[in-house]
Amino acid sequence: MSPEGALNFSNIALPIGISFYTFQTMSYTIDVYRGQVKACKNFIDFATYVTLFPQLIAGPIVRYAVIEKELKSRTVTTSLFYEGVERFIIGLSKKMIIANNCAVLADAIFNLPPSESSMLIAWLGTIVYSFQIYFDFSGYSDMAIGLGKMFGFNFPENFNYPYISKSIREFWRRWHITLSNWFKDYLYISLGGSREGKWRTYTNLIIVFFVTGLWHGANWTFIFWGLFHGLFIIIEWNFKDTDSKRPAFLSHLYFLFVLNISWVFFRNDTMTDAFHYLMTMFNFSLETNTAFLNFYLTKEMLIVLFAALLLSTPIYKKIVSGVFNSNLTSGTKNIFFPLKLIGLFILLFICFTYIATDSYNPFIYFRF
């Protein structure tokens, strides 16, 4: 066959989110084979599980056992529907207000020629991109969980403040939790886990993180990103006895440093681009493109970055929880509910404004 007639696999169109529902059906098949769940004999129930639209194209990855009972019988209450609407608005706000604004700055920095960039700008780019991908993906998960609640389904949580981690191991217990658990239960443990000696454990970890990188895309940058995380998990495995002796803030700084390095490979299209970007990050020149920073670091962007920093930690959640668990009178506490509703309506209005004025900007994980 001539080169012109050869099949170009890179141009094959695949359904969006194919990796998510593929993993769901695989988990169902494996669980049935293992005897952990009974085979579903109702085709409508099984088809509903596979094609459940809220989390169909970007997760969280829901196992059949989690919603088996709800597929057959579920109760939709007013309080559950309200929780769903609230969660949906929060997720939409994460995407439209924070992730999309961070994307503008991150894209501008990563597309900047190395001659016009600097160490400060390059590090700012990775930090902003880390906010973009977190609020983009966790925003979709929140929307999916919220929609699920509206219909009486309780989907598993997918994120637990991953950026407060103190190690890459902890990060993967907090980031894309349903995917991490899937690989642990169906690949890592099936390979032997940590039961067959140190070197076999290391081999299993490398295999798991190689597949994790490949799951995100058939590109060397994703594969390197996965192996990079696997390597540091092996390193941390060897030094886990010293973790408690290290000051917490140093562990956190170490984690953020390694994570931001890894995002460089995840964000760039080629290994060459990634290494060029890394060279800029470690070019210890004090010169910087102030005109670029002045143009992009507007008041709106600074407010968004501050909100991203605050909401990537449990500080806000603790403040709200502290207010409702305090010794305030019931009348005083009741004031917060209408204020909360007003806040949600304001967020929804802002989101509609962004939707009306911005061009189409899909979720990052739609392509995986």
Active-site annotation holder among 216, 229, 252, 276: 216
The reported pLDDT for the residue numbered 244 is: 67
What does the domain layout of the chain look like in residue ranges? 15-72, 78-292
Q: What is the pLDDT of residue 1?
A: 42
C-alpha closest to that of 175 among 203, 147, 214, 133: 133
DSSP collapsed to 3 states, 173-220:
HHCCHHHHHHHHHHHHCCCCCCCCCHHHHHHHHHHHHHHHHHHHCCCH
What pLDDT does 324 receive? 67
The residue count of the chain comes to 368
Residue segments in the chain with a per-residue pLDDT below the cut of 50: 1-7, 9
Q: How far apart are CA 279 and CA 273, in angstroms?
A: 10
Output the pLDDT for position 12. 62
Q: Would the pTM count as exceeding 0.95?
A: no
Residue 218: predicted pLDDT = 79
The residue written with tokens 């959640």 in the block is: 317
Q: Is 276 a catalytic residue?
A: no
User: What pLDDT was estimated at residue 6?
Assistant: 45
